[in-house]
Structure 1
Amino acid sequence: MHQVLPVLLVLCALVCGVWGSTPVALLHGIFHGSEDMDNLTMWVDTYVPNVYSRNIEVHGGKMGSMFGNLSDYTADFARQVKADPMLRSDEGKVNLVCHSQGALVCRGYAEMYAGMDGYPAVDTLVSLSGPHGGFFCGDEGCVLSDEPLARMLVDCAADMLAYDTWAQEAVVPAGYWKDPFNITSYLEGSLYMPYVNNEIEHTDSRMYKDRLLSLSQLVLMGSPIDGVIVPPESAWFGFYTEGSAQEASVVYPWDDEQTWRQDPLGLRALEDQGKVTYIDSGLVHRGYLENESFFVESILPFLL
């Protein structure tokens, strides 16, 4: 009976319409597992009325978040979202709350999978310090995680040519490693970020843009004191000018008039429609996972 009861509850919710709010899927960041999103999941369940939430773990959690390629990582997240019939509203939509590397994966889901072949469309994407503009820590040593192994792996991937096929296939962060001193190799060798950012023409460019434009809201949260994402402005699609890794050289998509006018990803169009919100959280990287007041004040309104 105890094994049957959860199934009956889900069936009842589906038939009776118990869940009133758009369901929420949450995804952890690099060298984290679903347990690191437990607080956020609890707060979603506490403050969002009649909501169904799912705290998803991809590739086995902490170690799996480092090894493999980012496309497979995104596919695993998409598979789990699709497999849960509760992760879709009456309109077939889901809200995503995603941290760090997971935020980039969630945007990848929104562009590659959402709204097709049974995958729920994305209504609101809340990105908590995601490296959307790229990640590069140069010779300073990477701090994508406090774990020494994570630092070592990212440093090795960078030192041993992140754009070699083996690194792109074996080290997840290589998929968003963007070397401002070697942009040509980045565009030619990176198998993930140049595609999801539409920095190069590819067969799915138009589809990625159209799907991003279908969002009701894109919420981009970051902080100058993040301490992990480099540069921190990457959370808002900012990145270093080609040939420099100085903080003063960081530019945003709207700083390049020609690119902003062409709008390859659809960010300008989303802004014109009032669908993009940029938030300086004032938090360190893990702060989103620990600060209930910030959740209530700054994240919750986008889930109601």
Structure 2
Amino acid sequence: MVSFDSLCYSLLLLSGLVEVLANPLQSRKHEPRPLVIWHGMGDSYGSPGMLEFINEIKEMHPGIFVHSIYLDEDLKEDQRAGFLGNVNLQLGNVTEQLRDIPELSQGFDAIGFSQGGQFLRAYVERYNSPPINNLITFGSQHMGVSDFPLCRRWDLVCQFARRAARGNVYTEWAQENLVQAQYYRDPTQLPQYLSSNHFLTDINNELDESVNQTYAENLISLNKLILVLFSEDKTVVPKETSWFGSYAPPEDDDDYEKTIIPMRLQTLYTEDRIGLKTLDERGDVVLETCEGEHMQLSTGCWRPLVNTYVGGPIKSQMMLVQDQVVLNGF
């Protein structure tokens, strides 16, 4: 005999099924999970290289929906915003952008190129609505950089930002307006970095007095975090930042020998300040290496990762309700 509680639960499931049937977006059958990409410094959301990459992914995963994040719909302004702007404000705008895309409402996988990778991680920790399933970051500066990336000879915007930042990196103006300054972490000036920076110190929960537990809860919600390091990277210093490594602060100012603090010895890891330790011990932090310089993406490196961690089947809400009906024997 069916209990009253079971009957009520089954009726609720059926009412959910009716609601889903009335919504064409929710009644989608199994299809590839959507993908969101955030480009790196000096690139734009619709550059030829980005469009080629997107097309190759669509060939790998037929039917996949791909969105390339933009900070400005004008390609030149979008490229410029990768150098000049307030990262915290940009993140808020990107979050609104993603929330307004119906295809992403049930979640998505994400790929971040260079600085786009730590920006997507910041999105996970601060917002994650809609949620990211798998996050792949290529050559991203998760523990910041201790030198500024070199610029192409013709890239005047990059050259201006680099010159302006080098001598004034921890000034209020630089921390509000120069993107690369907002993840510049000088091991010889850590006190100044901790007191001046409002982006990287926050998403890495480095400030003892303001650790945000929500960041850890949100990062743990990822299915997989795939961290890709470039073996010959000389653009990102140190290259180990892609795996949450950083230079140790000097013990003696007169004889500073640079040594790397690896991910599992970082305070943010040992104290599990952002959920990285929990994710890693769960087996869901994947450390990968691409041979070559920064962002030299060979197909032999990126294709297996995209094939494995992008485009998995996503169950529609209708399918989830049907599964619950079956499991509860109605």
Q: TM-score range by the shorter chain?
A: 0.7 to 0.9
**Paired residue for 2:102?**
85
Aligned partner (choices 133, 139, 142) of residue 129 of structure 1: 139
Distance change in 2, residues 1:197/1:87 (3 Å)? same
Q: For 1:148 and 1:285, how far apart are their aligned partners in 2?
A: 20
Q: For 1:23 and 1:166, how far apart are their aligned partners in 2?
A: 37
**Paired residue for 1:169?**
176
> Which protein, 1 or 2, shows the higher relative CO under an 8 Å CA cutoff with sep ≥ 6?
2
The CA deviation string for residues 111-136 of structure 1, in whole angstroms up to 9 with x for no partner, is: 1111xxxx201111110111001111
Aligned partner (choices 88, 91, 109) of residue 95 of structure 1: 109
The CA deviation string for residues 81-102 of structure 1, in whole angstroms up to 9 with x for no partner, is: 11111113xxx21111110111
State whether residues 219 and 276 of structure 1, in contact with CA within 8 Å, keep that contact through their aligned partners in structure 2: yes
Distance change in 2, residues 1:221/1:54 (3 Å)? same
SS in 2 for 1:126: strand
4+ residue runs over 3 A deviation: 201-204, 244-248, 258-261
The CA deviation string for residues 190-231 of structure 1, in whole angstroms up to 9 with x for no partner, is: 010011011114656101111001100000001131231111
Distance change in 2, residues 1:22/1:259 (3 Å)? closer
**Paired residue for 2:186?**
179
SS in 1 for 2:31: coil
1:61 aligns with 2:78: yes
Unaligned runs of 5+ in 2: 1-22, 313-330
The CA deviation string for residues 255-303 of structure 1, in whole angstroms up to 9 with x for no partner, is: 35x6643221211111110110010111322323xx3343322332111
1:251 aligns with 2:261: yes
**Paired residue for 2:274?**
265
State whether residues 36 and 66 of structure 2, in contact with CA within 8 Å, keep that contact through their aligned partners in structure 1: yes
**Paired residue for 2:41?**
30
State whether residues 66 and 172 of structure 1, in contact with CA within 8 Å, keep that contact through their aligned partners in structure 2: yes
State whether residues 142 and 155 of structure 1, in contact with CA within 8 Å, keep that contact through their aligned partners in structure 2: no
**Paired residue for 1:208?**
215
Higher Rg of the two aligned structures: 2
Residue 247 of structure 1 deviates from its aligned partner by 8.1
Unaligned runs of 5+ in 1: 1-11
Distance change in 2, residues 1:126/1:77 (3 Å)? same
Q: For 1:18 and 1:269, how far apart are their aligned partners in 2?
A: 33
State whether residues 30 and 144 of structure 1, in contact with CA within 8 Å, keep that contact through their aligned partners in structure 2: no
Distance change in 2, residues 1:26/1:267 (3 Å)? same
Q: TM-score, normalised by structure 2?
A: 0.78
Distance change in 2, residues 1:202/1:210 (3 Å)? farther
Q: For 1:247 and 1:278, how far apart are their aligned partners in 2?
A: 26
**Paired residue for 2:162?**
154
State whether residues 129 and 285 of structure 1, in contact with CA within 8 Å, keep that contact through their aligned partners in structure 2: yes
State whether residues 83 and 157 of structure 2, in contact with CA within 8 Å, keep that contact through their aligned partners in structure 1: no
Give the stretch that moved more between structures: 226-235 or 48-57. Answer: 48-57
Q: For 2:179 and 2:27, how far apart are their aligned partners in 1?
A: 41
SS in 2 for 1:283: coil
1:234 aligns with 2:234: no
Residue 145 of structure 1 deviates from its aligned partner by 5.7
Distance change in 2, residues 1:173/1:87 (3 Å)? same
Q: For 2:122 and 2:162, how far apart are their aligned partners in 1?
A: 21
**Paired residue for 1:41?**
54
Q: For 1:215 and 1:73, how far apart are their aligned partners in 2?
A: 22
Say how many residue pairs are matched.
280
The CA deviation string for residues 151-177 of structure 1, in whole angstroms up to 9 with x for no partner, is: 3412321212x1211111111111101
